[in-house]
Amino acid sequence: MSNANILAFTVSDMTCGHCAKAITGAVLTAYPAAKVDIDIAAKRVTIENAGDRAAVASVIEAEGYSPVDA
Ligand SMILES: [Cu+2]
């Protein structure tokens, strides 16, 4: 159960700063208290203090990206 509030996704179609900004914006709109950390080169999105994994993945998918568990 440790770090249960930290989610990590690999988003292979996140290719640039625009993508990162779009994903960050979508997550923060859904979860205003979340902390979003993005590494574009690694195609990695780490999210703290948001919803459960499936719900957060749905938010990213609705923005047009394809998150997989990382
Ligand atoms: Cu982009």
- The pLDDT assigned to 5 comes to 86
- The pLDDT assigned to 43 comes to 98
Pick the CATH number of 6-69 from 1.10.760.10, 3.20.20.140, 3.30.70.100, 3.40.1180.10: 3.30.70.100
Those residues of the chain that have pLDDT short of 50 are 1-2
CA–centroid distance, 49 to ligand 1, in Å, is: 25
- The pLDDT assigned to 4 comes to 57
Let me know: does 42 contact 17? Beta carbons within 8 Å.
Answer: no
The pocket of ion ligand 1, defined by CB under 5 A, consists of 15-16, 18-19
- The pLDDT assigned to 63 comes to 98
CA–centroid distance, 62 to ligand 1, in Å, is: 15
- The pLDDT assigned to 1 comes to 43
How is residue 6 written in tokens?
């930290």
CA–centroid distance, 5 to ligand 1, in Å, is: 27
7 forms bridges with which residues in the sheet? 47
Can you spell out the DSSP letters for 10-64? EETT--SHHHHHHHHHHHHHH-TT-EEEEETTTTEEEEES-S-HHHHHHHHHHTT
